[in-house]
């Protein structure tokens, strides 16, 4: 069965370190998305991609970057982790009408 | 910027009572989607509405899309403990490249 996976599921890192969160989907979707979820803010879009080599900034993209070298993967990099980036991160793939979410990565920046 | 507002933020009901959450967009939507997130889980797609005035039903859940395609609602009849979770609406703007803008969600708790 097709699926979308994220790794790691939990991560603790220190302020200033570079961190990469992995996202892998086997749905063969062109569209992939990264969201962060914080209490009181719902899901906010960080970056998204509509295909290989395509990346776009979402509403909260500062301090994050993505790259899309193939259809299956969209890794999210925190260039220099900050405490404000402590959050739960969800990757999703899908179409304009439906998105499938990964299980999430809980990131703590100390 | 483009916003999708959702109310209420929390709703506590007795099992068997009805529940409704409302979603309003600042701009016209291409379509609206609803997701459910169980505690500790990830959002799961429930349904999408595309047409003005559209009404769709899934068992005890009724979804509506407003005539102006700016608002939507989710109504659950006779809630059950399995309905517990956070319900999110997410709109795709007519202009905006197809990305979803999520409402803040309504957290539903059901007392048995």
Query: Chain B residue with minimal CA distance to A104?
Result: B42
Mean pLDDT, rounded, of chain B: 94
**pLDDT of B32 higher than 70:** yes
Cβ-defined contact of B103 to A42 (cutoff 8 Å): yes
> Which chain A residues contact residue B44 at CB under 8 A?
101
Average pLDDT over residues A92-98: 91
pLDDT range class, residue B97, cuts 50, 70, 90: low
Average pLDDT over residues A77-91: 97
Closest CA to B34 of B105, B100, B88, B102: B88
Contact present, A23 and A5 (Cβ < 8 Å): yes
pLDDT score at B20: 98
pLDDT score at A69: 97
> Which chain A residues contact residue B48 at CB under 8 A?
97-98
Average pLDDT over residues B56-74: 97
d(CA B93, CA B87): 20
pLDDT score at B98: 72
Residue showing tokens 């570079």: A18
Residue showing tokens 């039903």: B57
3-state secondary structure of A75: coil
- Model pLDDT for residues A11-27, shown as the tens digit of each residue: 999 999 999 999 999 99
State what percent of residues in chain B have pLDDT above 70. Answer: 96
In A87-106, the residues whose Cβ lies within 8 Å of chain B are 90, 92, 94, 96-104
- Does residue A35 sit at the B interface (CB-CB below 8 Å)? yes
More confident position, B22 or A59: B22
More confident position, B26 or A70: A70
What are the φ/ψ torsions at residue A56 (nearest 5 degrees)?
-140, 150
**pLDDT of B94 higher than 80:** no
> Which chain B residues contact residue A100 at CB under 8 A?
45
Contact present, B33 and B90 (Cβ < 8 Å): yes
- Model pLDDT for residues A26-71, shown as the tens digit of each residue: 999 999 999 999 987 789 999 999 999 999 999 999 999 999 999 9
pLDDT score at A42: 85
Closest CA to B63 of B53, B75, B52, B51: B75
**pLDDT of B96 higher than 70:** no
pLDDT score at B95: 72
Cβ-defined contact of A97 to B48 (cutoff 8 Å): yes
In B33-62, the residues whose Cβ lies within 8 Å of chain A are 33, 35, 41-45, 48, 50
Mean pLDDT, rounded, of chain A: 95
The DSSP element (H or E) to which B41 belongs, if any, is none
pLDDT range class, residue B1, cuts 50, 70, 90: low
**pLDDT of A108 higher than 70:** yes
- Does residue B7 sit at the A interface (CB-CB below 8 Å)? no
Cβ-defined contact of B97 to A31 (cutoff 8 Å): no
What's CA A20's distance to the chain center, in Å? 9
């Amino acid at each position: 069965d097709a699926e979308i996976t994220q790794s790691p599921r939990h991560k603790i890192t220190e302020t200033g370190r570079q961190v990469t969160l992995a996202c892998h989907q086997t749905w063969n979707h062109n569209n992939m998305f990264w969201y962060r979820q914080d209490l009181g803010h719902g899901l906010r879009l960080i970056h998204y991609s509509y295909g290989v080599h395509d990346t776009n900034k979402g509403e909260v993209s500062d301090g994050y970057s993505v790259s899309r070298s193939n259809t299956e993967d969209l890794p999210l990099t925190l260039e220099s982790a900050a405490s404000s980036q402590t959050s739960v991160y969800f990757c999703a793939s899908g179409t304009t009408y439906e998105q499938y979410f990964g299980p999430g990565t809980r990131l703590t920046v100390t | 910027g483009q916003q999708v507002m959702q109310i209420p933020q929390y709703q506590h009901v007795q099992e068997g009572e009805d529940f409704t959450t409302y979603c309003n967009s600042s701009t016209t939507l291409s379509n609206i989607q609803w997701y459910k997130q169980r505690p500790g889980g990830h959002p799961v797609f429930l349904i999408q509405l595309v047409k003005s005035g559209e009404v769709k039903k899934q068992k005890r859940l009724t979804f509506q899309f407003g005539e102006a395609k700016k608002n939507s609602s989710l109504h659950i009849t006779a809630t059950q403990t399995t309905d517990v979770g956070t319900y999110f609406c997410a709109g795709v703007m007519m202009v905006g490249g197809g990305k979803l803008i999520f409402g803040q969600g309504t957290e539903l708790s059901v007392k048995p």
